Amino acid sequence: MLHLGISWKIYLGLTFLSCGRHHCVSASRYCDAPTLDGGYLVPEQDTYNHGTVLFYACENGLKPAVEGWWATTTCRDGKWSTRPQCIDVNNCIPLVLPHGKYHSSSEGWYMNGYTIRVTCDTGYMHRNWDATALCANGTWTSVPVCERSTQACNEPPQVPHGVIINQNPKQDVYASDTEVVYECEDGYNVQGQVKKSIFCIAGNWTTAPACVREIKPTPAGGGSTTSTEGRKPGSSNDGSEVGGRGNTGGGSSSQPDVTTVDRCGTAPIVPNGDIVERNQMFLKYQCASFYTRVGPRRVVCHSNGHWSKIPICKAAYCSVDTSERTQLKDVGVKFINSGEKVRLECVKLDHWLTNHYSVASCNNAEITFSRCCNWWELKWSTC
């Protein structure tokens, strides 16, 4: 009498039954000899054990559908790891393209004269605008190369007490226009908010946020503590603007004395700018990439508790919404650094046999576009 709680096996020829308490599973661990037209197998048998490596080669005028003049396949649990094939020497095997992909052939190979179009991964672009390869007499000609885009960014900057919540998994390269959203840990925020975005613009990230605790500064001379929350940077507690000349409280229009920066409390916030030097007597600001500073580089604290005039970081790049331009292919909003040129793909018309591009130029925050030109006109600068 068979006990139902015991696992048992019955071997029937080349197949075994693995039986548990409620059912049996049949699984062959042997492979039948594969069919190979125009070639030969070594060793040649009717069946092969699990784990057997089978070698094969092809007759004259043919070649394996993989790299090399001979190839292998392995028997794994009743199936061959790859299907042995011999193809005409003028046909092509699949390409290996780092950071690129193309339509896969169901046959596993491509006919002589076949053209593939390569799409580069996010953050990569075609070198010399070459996106196609042709199978010619068994060899791929003009193989596209996907190289890192000059507009792409590295890993986003690390923010203490913060994490990135919208990029999973991590990437080695981030395409231009990528948005990254930071979120601060509990007890910290970004200038009164919980989340803040930065963008990859022409190879650089916009200024990353700082996750900080709210600190209520103590006014000079002691007394009660006054919160600066909601106070406009560069203004007094009553909301009045603070310029290069302050009010001493006695009606005098003379410049107040400069004192240590801790007497003015929270440092002024300059949008798209960072403090790059914090001295006892001044703060030095620097604008982020693609922004130009207008105003003083240094900010000091006056004896009346007011900051001196703060700088402004003015945008020094252009943006174009391709969805609003009928001649351009819609790829969303593109950013272009001041003084740079970028090729934007045009809408493909029926009578155009090749892709056309418009050259967008950014100068002094003003953007201009060339007509749509083919690759030959762009190569010889006749566009």
Do the first three CATH levels of 1-88 and 258-315 match, i.e. the same topology?
yes
pLDDT, position 376: 78
Residue 189, C-beta contacts closer than 8 angstroms, at least 6 positions apart = 211, 212, 214
Q: Which residue has the tokens 């992909």?
A: 101
Please state, in angstroms and rounded to a whole number, the distance separating the CA atoms of residues 156 and 181: 10
Confirm if 224 and 289 have CB atoms less than 8 A apart.
no
Domain positions in the chain: 1-88, 258-315, 317-379
Measured in degrees and rounded to the nearest 5, phi and psi for residue 112 equal -55, 130
Among candidate residues 303, 301, 300, 298, the one with its CA nearest the CA of residue 286: 298
Residue 95 in this model has a pLDDT that exceeds 70 = yes
Confidence of residue 115 (pLDDT cuts 50, 70, 90): very high
142-201, pLDDT tens digit by residue? Answer: 899 999 988 899 999 988 889 999 877 778 899 888 889 998 888 888 866 667 888 888
pLDDT, position 354: 72
Beta bridge partners of 291: 315
Tokens of 356: 């056309």
Residue 10 in this model has a pLDDT that exceeds 90 = no
More confident residue, 223 or 170: 170
Confirm if 228 and 265 have CB atoms less than 8 A apart.
yes
pLDDT, position 37: 94
Confidence of residue 218 (pLDDT cuts 50, 70, 90): low
Confirm if 262 and 218 have CB atoms less than 8 A apart.
no
Mean pLDDT for 116-145 is: 91
342 CB-contact burial (10 Å; exposed 0-12 / middle 13-18 / buried 19+): buried
Q: What number does CATH give the domain 1-88? A: 2.10.70.10
Among candidate residues 106, 76, 68, 112, the one with its CA nearest the CA of residue 92: 112
The CATH label, of 2.30.38.10, 1.25.40.80, 2.10.70.10, 3.40.30.10, for the domain at 258-315 is 2.10.70.10
Please state, in angstroms and rounded to a whole number, the distance separating the CA atoms of residues 94 and 71: 15
DSSP track, 268-333: PP-TTEEEEEE-SS-EEEEEPTTEEEES-SEE-EETTS-B-PPPEEEE-EEEEEGGG-TTB----E
Confidence of residue 263 (pLDDT cuts 50, 70, 90): confident
